[in-house]
Structure 1
Amino acid sequence: MKLTNYLRLAVVGVVALASCGKKGPPTASQPGKYSSTTGIEYNTEKGMAVANFKKIPEGPGLVFIEGGRTVLGSQEEDVTMSHDNIERTVTIASFYMDEAEVANIHWLEYLHFIRTDSAEEFYRSALPDTTVWARDLSFNDPYVTYYLRYPGFRYFPVVGVSWLQADDYCTWRTTKVNEGLATKGSSEKGGLFSRKPKPAAAGAEGTATAGALADGKDGPSIEKGNTLPNYRLPTEAEWEYAAQALIGTQEIGNENQEEKRIYPWDGKSTRNAYGKKQGQFLANFKRGRGDYAGIAGSLNDGAMITDYIYSYPPNDYGLYNMAGNVNEWVQDVYRPLSFQDVEDLNPFRRNGVGDPADKYDKKGYQSLIDDHVRVYKGGSWRDVAYWLSPGTRRFMAEDSATATIGFRCAMINAGSNK
């Protein structure tokens, strides 16, 4: 009888120890040693390779933007009568965005690397158009020569880049950053735009364009989680959402967003209403006809042209110059009715989907719209305050460039449903 009791106690003890060792259901960072559906052991000759994974690697220069529900659309009176961004409720998934605009020094770094590992033809195609500063009736000639390359302008936003050039930069940046993160192939020579043909071709988000091959046999693998997703231009909806920065403005337990902003800051004014800098402008823009900066001895926005990319207070997401300084390219093809056509979860207007370009009489000079015009947003040093509102939008040909348009990069929040 006593022996039976001892056996029972021993069994209970084994069960207790087994339950203590149980770690709960498998997760992305703790998938377990065995498959939860087949029981086959991972990382064996017969089993599938499952790499260690903690979280998405940290991308240089990026700030996390928590997504959610918001109301996109113009908060200003539609003075241009375009009616192309009417208010509507959407949900934007969390993503990452550069805290500041891509600067001259970043573009010079890009030119440095592609000059050594890419075809000369591509290098020349990547050169910004510095003549965008030239004006027939204005003496901006020094900027043509010095703005891109002079050390004093290093951290001023790069301009004179087209949408196509900005898109190429994002592709290159993805590859260059992942070279340092990948466990395999980081010492491989030859660039993305190399003189020697590469097996992987550029494509859409989510494909193996970052040098992360799906099978992992010949380089870094998506499955290993040791590479970043693609750097890319933000969608128009992402950009507008990030510029609004409506976080921390609602009461606890209240899911209604009762605050609205005309600009990426509180209040209806373009001036700082608080503290030692009260009365100073919160962005770099054109104050009025012929007035770009204020008067000598008391310069207000302080910039006749562009300004240091970290000038002016950041918005509540920690993003600098989401209004003014330079306009910024976004991914979307322009259509005036995108607000009613695109979906309400992660809205995006891509090429060749709905509202065909042949409906717009570009050949008859009655329209400027086709599948090669892209949206830009944010206002610039040369724009009046109206264009600083996140809901305003304009468009330009994707192969064109000006002294008032730059860009910043974005990235998906991979491995998350938020």
Structure 2
Amino acid sequence: MKNYSIIHLSAIAVCSILMVSCGGGNDYTNTSRGTGWDVTGKNGFELKTKYKDQDAAPGLVFVEGGTFTMGRVKDDPMHDWNNTPNQQHVQSFYIDETEVTNGMYLEMLDWVKRVFPPEDEQYRGIYNGAVPDTLVWRNRLGYNEEMTKNYLRFPSYANYPVVGVSWIQAVEFCNWRTDRVNEKILVDQGYVPKDQLGKATATELFNTETYLNAPTLVYGGNDSITRGGKRSEQLEKTRGKLAERRDTDTTGLYVRREDGILLPGAYRLPTEAEWEYAALGMGSVREYNAYRGRKKYPWNGQYTRSGDRKTRGDHLANFKQGDGDYGGIAGWSDDGADITAPIKSYEPNDFGVYDMAGNVSEWVADVYRPIVDDEFNDFNYYRGNVYTKNSIGPDGKVEVVSADSIDYDTLSNGKLIARTIPGEIKQVAVDDEETYLRTNFDRSDNRNFRDGDSQSSKYFGTADELDPEQRMYDSPQHRVSVDADGNVIREYDQANTRSTLIDNEVRVIKGGSWRDREYWLDPATRRFYPQDMAKDDLGFRCAMSRIGSKSKKSKSPRN
């Protein structure tokens, strides 16, 4: 009887593991749950049923999402009233382990310089627009000239956070990084030739969205690149494809979004809610489904020095400790840096993320407003959505930016920057085709939504477009233009009636820096800065959305 029970239980276990038809069960591995049809491609439709969970892309660490109180600070000495506590929920995401370093940024600059030589008049604006502003180190009553020359490029600073980068430049770095990582994936998977990574030219560039939407147009339409990898060659040989049929059957020759091979998301700047949540790292003060007390800093406790026996008294971050005191007395009690510090100089927080307090303040994606509108949304909060769509040409295909159609923009400080580069799909604002009778969005640009648009101002109903002098935020309006001879004309707003610096072109910055006092180390503090300007204590890190399950491992009750 005992032997029978063991055999019986073993059979049940085997049936469960193999998911075979034991007792009326069904195997849905290769068949549709809806129709019962085969989904392996035999009938035309193919569904990827075997795939692994999303891995962290290069440089990123996983942050499991959840609820937290955003904007809660212990003190408000600035009396800004912009830290009103509100409960938010953040989806799981990935964030850079460290700030983007000089070495990482120089890698992009080298690539841009090779692909778009600045000595070529046609491309000069691309490289010049990507170079950080090294003059941010100058101080009218301080000597920092060696920093202007060496901080970005000297090898000793390669692992220091990059500074002098505007919000616009940080966004472009994220876009560049996405394309380079995905291109390497295609090379490693055998879809693109191995030597392609070092052979990019202005007319043959890889762009992720172009590849996924119109693979025949990527690399300038060069078919020998998009199908030049070993995998593509093997697929064609295996099927016995004839040369004349190459353009009629492309099944398996290009990676699709459905294949799950390329990054499921793009590198981007973290939202303010994501950054604050990742900086807090509340896991260590959690008990069941509640947080015990509150953490003032990314580390445990209420102090900026370590209380551990072995490291008692050591600094936990790099920040300004008082007038003329940027690191402490030289020796054991010094924080190890007078300006920025090398990445990973201090211990990471509970998520494994470094330098979320001190070192440099960081750009986040959000447009700044004094109030976080949690009454309208408390899930993945973000202000700054500008919805676009792919531009479709007369031939019905997406329009790809060429070397002759690069869009440049003159910033408020007079600098020229490339808004598009060759290989990208041209973007246009969404219109009535996407917004008509929708309840979730009704316009392309939502930066002003419920705070600055016509519906939220006292001039509601006066006109479709508000008079410039009837704006909710009466910020300066500097104008920059270029005349027919290419000369930049700067017109500074000299009005003495302006009441604020807030507008749609300022972005939130988070975290204290080496120039800041202790108060700014609290992750809930927030400030803003023009998106086209830079500072010597302001850097950034990238993030990426988590696609799929909320957590990386299954959960089980503790008791």
Which stretch of the first structure deviates more once superposed, 366-375 or 208-217? 208-217
Which stretch of the first structure deviates more once superposed, 54-63 or 238-247? 54-63
Partner of 1:126: 130
Which stretch of the first structure deviates more once superposed, 347-356 or 88-97? 347-356
Of 449, 452, 455, 1:353 maps to 449
Of 394, 404, 407, 2:540 maps to 407
Deviation at 1:196, TM superposition (A): 3.0
**Compared CA separation, residues 209 and 79, structure 1 to 2 (3 A):** farther
Q: What is the one-letter code of the residue matched to 2:512? A: G
Partner of 2:475: 362
State the Cα deviation string for residues 74-104 of structure 1 (Å, max 9, x = none): 3221111111121111111111111110000
Partner of 2:515: 382
The SS at the match of 1:338 is coil
Deviation at 1:213, TM superposition (A): 3.5
Q: What is the one-letter code of the residue matched to 1:230? A: A
Deviation at 1:38, TM superposition (A): 2.1
Query: Does the CA contact (< 8 Å) of 1:237 and 1:346 recur in 2?
Result: yes
Partner of 1:90: 88
Partner of 1:225: 260
- Structure 2 distance, partners of 1:267, 1:89, is 22
Asked if 1:166 corresponds to 2:178, the answer is: no
Which stretch of the first structure deviates more once superposed, 394-403 or 108-117? 108-117
Partner of 2:65: 67
- Structure 1 distance, partners of 2:16, 2:345, is 57
- Structure 2 distance, partners of 1:23, 1:73, is 52
Task: Extract unaligned runs of 5+ from structure 1.
Answer: 1-16, 25-29, 201-207
State the Cα deviation string for residues 322-372 of structure 1 (Å, max 9, x = none): 000000000000001124455111111122322126201114421101111
- Structure 2 distance, partners of 1:88, 1:178, is 37
Query: Does the CA contact (< 8 Å) of 2:73 and 2:83 recur in 1?
Result: no
Partner of 1:116: 114
Deviation at 1:18, TM superposition (A): 8.9
Query: Does the CA contact (< 8 Å) of 1:67 and 1:92 recur in 2?
Result: yes
Query: Does the CA contact (< 8 Å) of 1:271 and 1:278 recur in 2?
Result: yes
Deviation at 1:224, TM superposition (A): 0.8
Q: What is the one-letter code of the residue matched to 1:34? A: T
**Compared CA separation, residues 186 and 298, structure 1 to 2 (3 A):** same
- Structure 2 distance, partners of 1:85, 1:116, is 45
Query: Does the CA contact (< 8 Å) of 1:74 and 1:85 recur in 2?
Result: yes
Query: Does the CA contact (< 8 Å) of 1:57 and 1:226 recur in 2?
Result: no
Deviation at 1:242, TM superposition (A): 0.5
Partner of 2:30: 33
- Structure 2 distance, partners of 1:19, 1:284, is 55
**Compared CA separation, residues 65 and 31, structure 1 to 2 (3 A):** farther
The SS at the match of 1:168 is helix
Asked if 1:49 corresponds to 2:84, the answer is: no
The SS at the match of 1:231 is coil
**Compared CA separation, residues 240 and 412, structure 1 to 2 (3 A):** same
Deviation at 1:185, TM superposition (A): 4.8
Q: What is the one-letter code of the residue matched to 1:160? A: G
Which stretch of the first structure deviates more once superposed, 371-380 or 42-51? 42-51
The SS at the match of 2:283 is coil
Matches of residues 99-114 of structure 1 in structure 2 within 5 Å? 99-114=97-112
Deviation at 1:297, TM superposition (A): 3.3
Matches of residues 254-269 of structure 1 in structure 2 within 5 Å? 254-269=288-303
Asked if 1:135 corresponds to 2:139, the answer is: yes
Query: Does the CA contact (< 8 Å) of 2:56 and 2:62 recur in 1?
Result: no
Query: Does the CA contact (< 8 Å) of 1:75 and 1:261 recur in 2?
Result: no
Which stretch of the first structure deviates more once superposed, 88-97 or 145-154? 88-97
**Compared CA separation, residues 407 and 18, structure 1 to 2 (3 A):** closer
Q: What is the one-letter code of the residue matched to 1:267? A: G
- Structure 2 distance, partners of 1:19, 1:295, is 66
Of 223, 235, 242, 2:271 maps to 235
Q: What is the one-letter code of the residue matched to 1:78? A: D
Q: What is the one-letter code of the residue matched to 1:242? A: A
Partner of 2:203: 196
Q: What is the one-letter code of the residue matched to 2:317? A: A
Q: Normalising to structure 1: TM-score of the pair?
A: 0.86
**Compared CA separation, residues 380 and 210, structure 1 to 2 (3 A):** farther
Asked if 1:157 corresponds to 2:157, the answer is: no
Query: Does the CA contact (< 8 Å) of 1:76 and 1:262 recur in 2?
Result: yes
Q: Normalising to structure 2: TM-score of the pair?
A: 0.65
Identity of aligned residues (%): 41
Query: Does the CA contact (< 8 Å) of 2:305 and 2:313 recur in 1?
Result: yes
**Compared CA separation, residues 186 and 57, structure 1 to 2 (3 A):** farther
- Structure 2 distance, partners of 1:268, 1:18, is 55
What value does the CA root-mean-square deviation take over the aligned residues? 2.8
**Compared CA separation, residues 373 and 210, structure 1 to 2 (3 A):** farther
**Compared CA separation, residues 136 and 219, structure 1 to 2 (3 A):** farther
**Compared CA separation, residues 73 and 348, structure 1 to 2 (3 A):** same
Deviation at 1:248, TM superposition (A): 3.3
Of 325, 337, 354, 2:371 maps to 337
Of 10, 19, 37, 1:22 maps to 19
- Structure 2 distance, partners of 1:414, 1:288, is 44
The SS at the match of 1:370 is coil
**Compared CA separation, residues 31 and 149, structure 1 to 2 (3 A):** farther
Deviation at 1:227, TM superposition (A): 1.1
- Structure 2 distance, partners of 1:153, 1:212, is 37
- Structure 1 distance, partners of 2:149, 2:316, is 29
